[in-house]
Structure 1
Amino acid sequence: MAVLTMIGQLLLALTILVGLHEFGHFIFARIFGIRVNKFYIFFDFLFPLPNVLNFALWKKKKGDTEYGLGWFPLGGYVDIAGMIDETKDASQLSAVPEPYEFRSKPAWQRMFVMLGGIIVNIILGILIFWGVKYTWGDEYYSKETVNKLGIYAYPLAEEIGLKTGDKILKINNHDFEDFSEVRAALMEENTEFLVERNGAQKVIPVPNDLIDKVASKVPFVEEILPFKVGEIVKDSPADKAGLKQGDKIVKVDSTSIGYFQQFQGVLKNSANKKIALTVDRDGKLLTTNPTVSADAKLGFKPDWDLVKNTQTYSLGEAFGAGAEHALSIIPNQIKGFSRIFKGHISAGNAVSGPVGLAQWFGSYWDWERFWNLTGLLSMGLAFMNALPIPALDGGHVVVLLYEMITRRKPSEKFMERTQQVGTFILLTLMVLVLFNDTFKALFK
């Protein structure tokens, strides 16, 4: 069930994103009087072989356009008359361009048709984050709240000199409010943390290649999380041991417990073992003896004693905050690519395919998380399609810019060849990403 929930969320997000991306091309083509033969969500053929396994799950012809839902759930496409893309080659185009064809239109109009998907994805990203900010606002742990107890440093953070209990005062000599900025700062090069430890201040430099380990989902730092027992899973070790919601765990065997990460560490070393659990229930200390499960859990959700700051927005304020959030994603994508080219992040850790994306959505349906991820993917899709790679929108735009500057139109054969090269590059990347996805899912 959990796997189906992850797949369902990913398919819904991709249907929204791809459908509206292709609608961007479609609407600009219609504005300029260009005929659109097909508008498909997913492919109705075995991509990238347009003449293999041609069938649709659903289709309907309206006017000159056939609308449909393909069987191959990779993306989607619009078949624009007179344009060479993944669905046709130069041999399929007539010798003399018809007035309603893409190739008969001025370069600036063709440019808008190619940019249509990117434009719509950016607008969609802004609208999604506008709605998220207005509906849920922002919740975050402030620096002030976290620094009451300090950070929890995982082994990776300890390798660079951070310690549990450190209080991070500044990032790159700048103050900050939201603790999530600590993790976000790892995307920057030559990052430094100013920390307070035992009343003294110390600068901790972050190696540039640390981001590669963090990108591979190795934990770095987080808030120290004091907790109480929350919702208890029926028939779990916690339920059988008589734990109640609101109990505060103060000791496991002879180890005093002050926060959740410490509790997790003790349980990890006690899998399949009976433990002595001391809890504070309404000021009274009680002892019980549950047996820890094989996956080192007792079976309850923690209730955090660390209070988050909440920022709410009016409709107008939410638009500004949402637009700022959406548009900040593209510079971060550029920084990420820069770090890949500099060798700070391996491509395998930086790129996720369908398996990785499905795992992002999680095993239960949370609308706030769904829309946040869909907005992120929309901006990411806009950025990726803008890359100057043949077969992507950005590749077409580069050719159109060349035509507009030189006033020389590339031949249709040249366009076919660049499309083939671009498709080969994309397929190679897709195979590598799928292999990397599967490897990480099976062995990490």
Structure 2
Amino acid sequence: MSGVWVQVVQFLMALSLLIVLHEGGHFFFARLFKTRVEKFYLFFDFLFPFSNILPFSLFKKKIGDTVWGIGWFPLGGYVKIAGMVDESMDKEQLAKPPEPWEFRSKKAWQRLLIMLGGIIVNVLLAFIIYAMVLFAWGQDRLPLSELKNGIDVSDSLAYKLGFQDGDKIVAINGEKLKYYDDLMLSLFRPDAVVEIERKGEAKTINIPVNFAEQLINTKGGRLFAIPMPAIVDSLLPVGGARTAGMKHGDRILAVNGVQTPSWNTTRTAFQENKGKIVQLTILRDGSNLTLPVQLSDTGTAGFSQWRPENIEEGQKMGFYKVEHTSYGFFQAFPAGVGLAIDKLNAYVQQFRLILNPKTGAYKGLGGFDSMRKIYAPEWDWQHFWLVTAFLSIVLAFMNLLPIPGLDGGYVVFTLIEMITGRKVNEKVVEVATTIGLVLLLGLMLYANGMDVFRWFKK
């Protein structure tokens, strides 16, 4: 199975799980308060949000008062709760007098819990997944203090912003940065100021407000890389390295007597000496050797660079030490809650950037294909569950937004009723829900359209 299809399968599995459990939250509270649930669907059995267009199911079976089914339009799912304005826009039922088993007949606090049920389940699911991942695999983090030679720059945008190979990241907006994995996300803070140490001197780099837009335009992902020494993997048939007698596993320590602790610094030294013979100090079998190597006119020595496949392999080679934290079963739960809160805060931070036109972050919006790409192209259960937990957090947050048609919209109407003591007019709710659904459709078309646009732009 190709990498793309592995991602597709993982995404569909996660999406189905999240939809079923989210709608199951609504179902649970509805049944708890003896409210009739007429439909429970994974995916829509109509062309969302138009309930009268192409209404058919791939599968359905009625059990008791509820029709359980799988729709054909795989962009979500829903439960149809009797006596409630929802995606189905069933106006005929609402025109009749309310029945005791209908949503509109229930007390305000009961209706509030019914509407919050999906969000509650998504949050609890994220807590549980994160806890079980930490219990099963623990947590690996690379302290920035382990990068004795600073960071390597891996994107031209980083050079443009003012970063250089070997810079040591000290703090961002005055906050000490402890882990390498936190670096990229911290740069998305509004008007971030990065404090660095460069060759023993303290410097600052100001991150522009449209940093997100610049990153999108360069199609970049990570601006930095973990510095790795220049180690020979394989020799080209012809080149200065082969002629000089270099071998697989040779580690370059210096070029012309100047230390080059990373591949980037070695490559820069090669570029500065194009077409020349350089004296390479190398480490081989525990001993230092000096070899004269003829560089090509393009500044290459004629070998491919070895890189570890992952952080763990780099640790085994002794390049740095990863901080591993193991969790007992009961320790994992509070740690899982903490991790979920951290992920939520990070997502809210990114969401605020999207709402600010000056950042240009809205240009990075994506739909289902973008979400599919978050999953690994090879099967990795740890990564699968981590991404699924994050999407569960995202689903909870997005559904809590006060937009009619989303759970948050119904929550707002219910809170207004609880505060004022009067129900919001059902006609107002109906019109607001229609407007909200159209807005959601527009956002969905835009986000997925951006995916299509990027696909054709490749």
1:322 paired with 2:322, answer no
Contact kept, 8 Å, 1:133 with 1:312, in 2: the verdict is yes
* Residue in 2 that maps onto 1:174: 175
Larger mean Cα displacement after TM superposition, 332-341 or 358-367? 332-341
Contact kept, 8 Å, 1:44 with 1:71, in 2: the verdict is yes
Q: CA RMSD in A?
A: 3.5
* Residue in 1 that maps onto 2:226: 223
Shift of 1:176: 3.0
1:441 paired with 2:442, answer no
Shift of 1:262: 7.0
In the TM superposition, 1:29-428 aligns within 5 A as: 29-146=30-147, 148-153=148-153, 154-214=155-215, 217-218=219-220, 219-226=222-229, 247-248=249-250, 250=252, 259=262, 282=285, 302=309, 303-304=313-314, 305-428=319-442
Contact kept, 8 Å, 2:230 with 2:266, in 1: the verdict is no
The alignment-based identity, stated in percent, is 39
Contact kept, 8 Å, 2:375 with 2:384, in 1: the verdict is yes
Q: Does the C-alpha gap of structure 1 residues 342 and 422 become closer, same or farther in structure 2, counting only changes over 3 Å? A: same
Q: Does the C-alpha gap of structure 1 residues 299 and 385 become closer, same or farther in structure 2, counting only changes over 3 Å? A: same
Contact kept, 8 Å, 1:90 with 1:412, in 2: the verdict is no
Shift of 1:279: 9.9
Shift of 1:93: 2.7
Contact kept, 8 Å, 1:151 with 1:166, in 2: the verdict is yes
Aligned to 1:93, what secondary structure does the other structure show? helix
Shift of 1:155: 2.1
* Residue in 2 that maps onto 1:4: 5
Letter in 2 for 1:247: G
Contact kept, 8 Å, 2:210 with 2:360, in 1: the verdict is no
Letter in 2 for 1:429: L
TM-score normalised according to structure 1 size: 0.83
Q: Does the C-alpha gap of structure 1 residues 414 and 65 become closer, same or farther in structure 2, counting only changes over 3 Å? A: same
TM-score normalised according to structure 2 size: 0.81
Q: Does the C-alpha gap of structure 1 residues 301 and 170 become closer, same or farther in structure 2, counting only changes over 3 Å? A: closer
Paired residues, number: 418
Contact kept, 8 Å, 1:26 with 1:78, in 2: the verdict is yes
Shift of 1:66: 1.5
Shift of 1:335: 2.4
Letter in 1 for 2:229: P
Contact kept, 8 Å, 1:246 with 1:281, in 2: the verdict is no
Q: Does the C-alpha gap of structure 1 residues 229 and 96 become closer, same or farther in structure 2, counting only changes over 3 Å? A: farther
Q: Does the C-alpha gap of structure 1 residues 281 and 8 become closer, same or farther in structure 2, counting only changes over 3 Å? A: farther
Partners in 2 of 1:151 and 1:203 — Cα distance? 15
Contact kept, 8 Å, 2:134 with 2:326, in 1: the verdict is yes
Deviations 1:253-300 (A, max 9, x none): x9x98645679999xxxxxxxxxxx9987579999xxxxxxxxx9998
Letter in 2 for 1:366: D
Partners in 1 of 2:417 and 2:111 — Cα distance? 11
Deviations 1:295-333 (A, max 9, x none): xx9998645344422121222222122101112233333
Aligned to 2:225, what secondary structure does the other structure show? strand
* Pair member with larger Rg: 2
**Gapped runs of 5+ residues in structure 1?**
267-277, 288-296
Shift of 1:133: 1.2
Aligned to 1:91, what secondary structure does the other structure show? helix
Shift of 1:227: 6.8
Partners in 1 of 2:377 and 2:266 — Cα distance? 24
* Residue in 2 that maps onto 1:273: none
